């Protein structure tokens, strides 16, 4: 995919760069960068307020971006709320559901042992919460066979693990809903949105959250999708300008969806650029993306399997997963390996990846080394990674 890589200025400016940290953030194609510059140099103005031409254009482009996001996940544009990212989205949902009494007192919330902290911590803040955790199987997936016939009030799970790359089988969500038709199901789609087609009409969730910077768009913008009937019943998680219909000394009437949940000045330029990132993915096509990343995943796993001392924390190749693969090397700290590889212009991530429970209680280690693919990665990237990793193992052994 060299023709794809050519669309990313960072690789032109750093021709030796091998970037394998896409689960953390993706690089940005020229069309996304151009959209940011275009906004700030041609029609920089606030939205939903000004009656002059550049303000009207800013509003039109911002709302067109909402429509692009909605089409990308097969949603109603009224159900698309722009946020600061996945973390702020999950916090907002948890806070609003509690304030709106849409979850009972002392709610029972189902999580899993591989959850990212942004899927876990917001629920720990809910007063009286009872947290249950699904374990992780020997194949590094959420073990859905351990779901008990419990009446959960909220389920908050990762659609795809940011450590193992395992994909949640979303057909299990219907089983959970059978136990409680009023259950609220939230999926963290930060790791799936750039790799798998998502259709919220048949996903089985009530809310999804994701971040722009995972889909070749800027930081500072994300999305909440929620079912319209739930959003209409929920109280706003932020209040202020732009999200009101009327204000008196005693009370306030909220604006209709989606403005009701977008207090203050939103991330205008970032939302417009987010739409460009999604269009970039759509132009490539998920069939092409999945095939390319599946080939890289298979090659990487096979190459790692041939190296002594390497343990792989990733489902078997027969399991449907994305190209996020974590490893450890006996006797060598992942930070040392990441530093060595970084000095060779190979960028990947070492640490607990915001999943301390998974690492400490399931893997029984403090950190792993994580490789995660994007559309611009190649077999040559894998070859260079393996070569330098073997050199590092020799050096530190």
Please, are residues 245 and 254 in contact by the beta-carbon 8 Å criterion? yes
Q: Return d(Cα 226, Cα 81) in angstroms, integer.
A: 8
List the one residue out of 15, 72, 317, 326 whose CA is nearest residue 194.
Answer: 72
List the one residue out of 43, 17, 12, 103 whose CA is nearest residue 346.
Answer: 17
Sign of CA dihedral 199, 207, 149, 361: positive
Q: What is the H or E stretch that residue 92 is in? A: helix 86-99
Q: Which two tokens stand for residue 149?
A: 């016939």
| 354 catalytically annotated | yes
The catalytically annotated residue of 183, 354, 367, 393 is: 354
Q: Tell how strand 108-112 and strand 154-158 pair up.
A: parallel
Alpha helices in 171-263 (DSSP H): 172-179, 200-203, 228-233
Q: Strand, helix or coil at 50? A: coil
Supply the angle between the helices 379-396 and 286-305 in degrees, to the nearest 10.
30
Residue 221 vs residues 10, 191, 242, 331, 370: alpha-carbon distances, Å: 21, 15, 18, 40, 24
With a CB cutoff of 8 Å and minimum separation 6, the contacts of 51 are none
What is the radius of gyration, based on Cα positions, of the chain? 22
**Count of beta carbons in the 10 Å neighbourhood of residue 95:** 18
Cα dihedral: 210, 238, 59, 72 (round 10): 20
Residue 380 vs residues 117, 290, 308, 370: alpha-carbon distances, Å: 33, 18, 22, 18
Please, are residues 322 and 377 in contact by the beta-carbon 8 Å criterion? no
Q: Return d(Cα 23, Cα 20) in angstroms, integer.
A: 8
Sign of CA dihedral 372, 374, 376, 380: positive
List the one residue out of 396, 382, 386 whose CA is nearest residue 334.
Answer: 396
Residues annotated as catalytic (active site), given as ranges: 354
């Amino acid at each position: 995919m060299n023709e794809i890589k050519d669309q990313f200025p960072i690789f032109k400016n750093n021709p030796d760069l091998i970037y394998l940290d896409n689960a953390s953030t993706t690089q940005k194609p020229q069309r996304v960068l151009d959209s940011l510059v275009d906004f700030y140099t041609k029609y920089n103005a606030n939205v939903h307020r000004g009656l002059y031409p550049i303000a009207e254009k800013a509003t039109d482009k911002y709302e067109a971006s909402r429509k692009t996001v909605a089409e990308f996940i097969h949603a109603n544009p009224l159900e698309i709320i722009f946020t600061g990212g996945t973390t702020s989205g999950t916090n907002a949902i948890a806070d609003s559901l509690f304030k709106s009494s849409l979850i009972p007192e002392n709610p029972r919330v189902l999580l899993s042992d591989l959850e990212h902290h942004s899927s876990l911590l917001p629920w720990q803040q809910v007063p009286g919460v009872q947290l249950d955790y699904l374990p992780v199987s020997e194949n590094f997936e959420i073990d859905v066979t351990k779901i008990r016939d419990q009446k959960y009030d909220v389920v908050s799970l990762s659609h795809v693990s940011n450590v193992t790359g395992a994909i949640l089988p979303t057909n299990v969500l219907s089983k959970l809903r059978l136990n409680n038709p009023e259950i609220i199901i939230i999926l963290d789609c930060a790791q799936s949105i750039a790799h798998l087609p998502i259709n919220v009409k048949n996903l089985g969730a009530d809310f999804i959250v994701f971040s722009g910077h995972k889909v070749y768009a800027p930081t500072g913008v994300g999305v909440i999708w929620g079912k319209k009937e739930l959003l209409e019943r929920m109280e706003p998680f932020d209040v202020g300008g732009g999200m009101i219909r009327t204000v008196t000394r005693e009370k306030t009437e909220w604006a209709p969806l989606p403005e009701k949940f977008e207090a203050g000045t939103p991330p205008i330029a970032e939302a417009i650029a987010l739409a460009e990132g999604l269009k970039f993915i759509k132009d490539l096509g998920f069939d092409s993306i999945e095939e390319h990343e599946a080939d890289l995943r298979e090659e990487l796993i096979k190459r790692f399997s041939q190296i002594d001392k390497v343990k792989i924390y990733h489902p078997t190749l027969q399991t449907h997963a994305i190209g996020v693969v974590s490893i450890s090397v006996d006797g060598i700290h992942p930070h040392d390996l990441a530093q060595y590889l970084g000095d060779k212009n190979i960028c990947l991530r070492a640490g607990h990846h915001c999943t301390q429970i998974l690492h400490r209680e399931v893997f029984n280690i403090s950190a792993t080394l994580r490789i995660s693919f994007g559309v611009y990665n190649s077999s040559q990237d894998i070859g260079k990674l393996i070569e330098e990793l073997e050199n590092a193992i020799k050096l530190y052994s």
